[in-house]
Amino acid sequence: MKIAIAADHAGFVLKEKLRQTQTGEGHQVTDFGPAGPESCDYPDYAKPVANEVAAGRAERGILVCSTGIGMAMAANKVAGVRAAPGVSEDEVRLTREHNDANVLTLGARYLDDDQARKLTRIFLETDFAGGRHARRVAKIEQMGQAPDPAGGQ
């Protein structure tokens, strides 16, 4: 699988470990930085990962910051991206099955290495269920289009 990955300074160490794990498992991983743990701004790293996923050059994205929330907020500004913070195994499985999430965001402050690896594995191995969920995901995608000037639905 083609995976785009990035972090900010708070997520740098965990990102490096996840990149190594995913590469070791045979995935093609493109690392968008940073190259070190120096202070940086998470939107600068969320954007290229989100763009790669939205353009179809990466099948999935992984973003790591302190909480996972800032990265999710930034990545979700890119049309076609459905980024979700990974907190529990069940939530990650369901966000793939029901929401077709294509970017996983992780909070380095709240996950140990094993938990992060487990959540990432679930994210990469779980398929979208489709069916009634496809209709809902399509509605999310429509929300990313230009607003209706009349204010309607």
Residue-wise pLDDT for 93-111, tens only, equals 999 999 999 999 999 999 9
For residue 9, the SS3 value is: helix
End-to-end Cα separation, the chain, in angstroms: 37
5 class by beta-carbon count within 10 Å (0-12 exposed, 13-18 middle, 19+ buried): buried
Distance between CA atoms of residues 104 and 62, nearest Å: 5
Residues 6 or more apart in contact with residue 127 via CB below 8 angstroms: 96, 97
CA distances from 107 to 9, 36, 99 (A): 12, 18, 20
Which of 9, 27, 40, 65 is an active site residue?
Answer: 65
Domain 2-143 belongs to what architecture?
Answer: 3-Layer(aba) Sandwich (3.40)
Does residue 149 register a pLDDT over 70?
A: no
- pTM, two decimals, is 0.93
Tokens read off for 120: 């990432």
Distance between CA atoms of residues 100 and 96, nearest Å: 5
Of residues 96, 4, 12, 10, the one with CA closest to residue 54? 4
Q: Is 65 a catalytic residue?
A: yes
Reported as a pLDDT band with limits 50, 70 and 90, residue 140 is confident
Does residue 152 register a pLDDT over 80?
A: no
Give the largest CA-CA distance in the chain.
Answer: 52
pLDDT of residue 142: 86
DSSP 29: E
Amino acid at the residue 138 = A
Which of 27, 40, 98, 133 is an active site residue?
Answer: 98
Contact of 108 with 117, CB cutoff 8 Å: no
Domain range summary for the chain, segments of one domain joined by +: 2-143
Model confidence over 3-45: pLDDT tens digits?
Answer: 999 999 999 999 999 999 999 999 999 999 999 999 999 999 9
Q: Is 98 a catalytic residue?
A: yes
Reported as a pLDDT band with limits 50, 70 and 90, residue 59 is very high
